[in-house]
Amino acid sequence: MPELPEVETVRRGLAPRLAGAIIRRLEVREWRLRWPIAATLPRQIEGLRIQQVSRRAKYLLFDCGEGHLILHLGMSGSLVLLESPQPLKKHDHYDLILDSGAIVRFNDPRRFGSLHWMCGDVDNHVLLRNLGPEPLAEQFSGKVLHQALRGRSAPIKSLLMDQRIVVGIGNIYANEALFLAGIHPRTAAGRLSLARCDRLVGAVQQVLRLALQAGGSTLRDFVNSAGEPGYFQMDYRVYGREDQACRHCSGKIRVLRLGQRGTFYCPRCQR
DNA sequence: AATCTTTCCTGCCGGC
DNA sequence: TGCCGGCAGGAAAGAT
């Protein structure tokens, strides 16, 4: 469930406490995440100082000077900051223990999360190198999107979720943004006019900003770095609202399957 | 039993 | 024919 707003919410929770902190120890209990954690990692980062906590796409980056820790929450991962040791729960896979005694604890039932180390320019990491623009950055515009979609015949919704086109957008916000922009999710991406791309970029930014203000929305089990759930459920216009009335035209919200993902839309408002 | 979250990988397809 | 990129579908693990 973590899309950009959720990951950014976690980052904002962690950053003030982690910036300047020294890593005392990395304690790994389950090495088999999406990719195995490098066996050398604990020794590699011991004693390093975290200079800042940033985010690229849905990845969290802990800048340790000589290198970066790259964390991903996968589908079901969460990071919680503990002031002191707490009893372990199921799926607590690793602890990053700081000199202060505080602990960053990673829990991930489905183990699709990951933990990597990258020396030097972190943007060159194989996981980051092919990522598209940040959706809330100034460089992202209708023009940029329009250009990226040129000649593409895949449904716009699939490409909106393609991290090489633009990062941070998962299933929920793709559905919501397309509704706001009045675009049918199955529209061939390359057929969108520049004007519609402009509108779509505006919708994406609006949806993400709203979710950020909400402190990261939640499908069901998102928790921020304090272990609290999303402050309130986002007020979805279409996501999860199959057969309910469209808030704009009162028509029935429909659902279809696009790339194995639930795709919700209003046939009357989205063309 | 089907469904949910993300992303990488495989295999098929059409175009050149 | 062979190569390439685009695209769809599958897989990973577990809770509900």
pLDDT in tens, chain A (271 residues): 588 888 999 999 999 999 999 999 999 999 989 888 999 999 999 999 999 999 999 999 999 999 999 999 988 899 999 999 999 998 999 999 999 999 999 999 888 899 999 998 898 888 898 889 999 999 899 999 999 999 888 899 999 999 889 998 988 899 999 999 999 999 999 999 999 999 999 999 999 998 888 876 544 456 677 776 654 456 789 988 889 999 999 999 999 888 888 899 999 999 9
- A261 given a catalytic annotation: yes
- A58 given a catalytic annotation: yes
DSSP E strands, A1-139: 23-28, 52-56, 59-63, 67-72, 78-82, 92-98, 103-107, 114-119
Angle formed by the axes of helices A194-213 and A171-181, to 10°?
130
Q: Which is nearest to A168 in space by CA: A120, A131, A121, A119?
A: A131
Look at residue A217 in the predicted model and tell me its pLDDT.
53
The C-alpha atoms of residue A172 and residue A263 are separated, in whole angstroms, by: 9
The C-alpha atoms of residue A271 and residue A265 are separated, in whole angstroms, by: 10
CB proximity list for A124: less than 8 A, separation 6 or greater: A118
**Residue at minimum CA to C1' distance from nucleotide C10:** A260
Kindly list the protein residues whose beta carbon lies within 7 Å of any strand B atom: A 1-3, 57-58, 72, 74-76, 110, 112, 127, 161, 163, 170-172, 219, 260-262
- A135 given a catalytic annotation: no
| Bases of strand C lying below 7 A from some protein CB | 6-15
Paired strand residues for A188: A155
Look at residue A20 in the predicted model and tell me its pLDDT.
97
Look at residue A124 in the predicted model and tell me its pLDDT.
87
- A2 given a catalytic annotation: yes
| Any strand C atom closer than 7 Å to A31 CB | no
Provide the CA A240 to C1' B1 distance, Å, integer. Answer: 20
